[in-house]
Amino acid sequence: MPRRFLRFGLLSLVMMGASLTVAQPAFAVSGGGCNSQAISTCISSSGTSVAADFYQNVGGDRTRCYAQMEVITTNLGTFWSREYTITANGRYGPFYVNTVGSSGIRGSAINRVHIRTCSHSEHYYQDSPRVYYP
């Protein structure tokens, strides 16, 4: 009988050790993601930064030639990316904003993508969902 308990105990220890060495899935930060529009604006948070990007899901035309990302945070201010020429479908960015300056204060951010015409006039803007960071 003691051998049986010993074998069960060893087996339990081995299984517990194996479960500790298997990579566990990371917990996602609350919020973020993308919206589904002609220009899909996205935002996510990982560690000490927020990453903003966007996707052009329709062909280019004279009303959508340029785009610029504006990351608006609740506690760190506003940050602007460079201006992108959007001539083809696909992904633009990412544009990273460092959130270390938040000094551990929880904050949130959105990615606002400003769409400009070929004559650089503001056409419209598209906001991403809100992401929360520690």
64 C-beta neighbours (distance < 10 Å), count: 20
User: Beta strand pairing status for 90-98 and 122-127?
Assistant: unpaired
Query: Which of 111, 112, 56, 122 lies closest to 86 in space, CA to CA?
Result: 56
Segment 48-61, tens digit of pLDDT:
899 999 999 887 77
Q: Which two tokens stand for residue 31?
A: 């919020």
> In the numeric block, which tokens belong to residue 131?
């992401």
What pLDDT, in 10s, does the model give residues 55-100? 998 877 778 899 999 999 998 999 999 999 998 788 999 999 998 8
* Domains of the chain by start residue, with CATH: 33-133 (2.60.40.10)
Sequence-ordered list of residues with C-beta below 8 angstroms from that of 4, at least 6 positions apart, any chain? none
- How distant is the alpha carbon of residue 41 from its chain centre? 10
What percentage of the chain carries pLDDT values higher than 70?
73
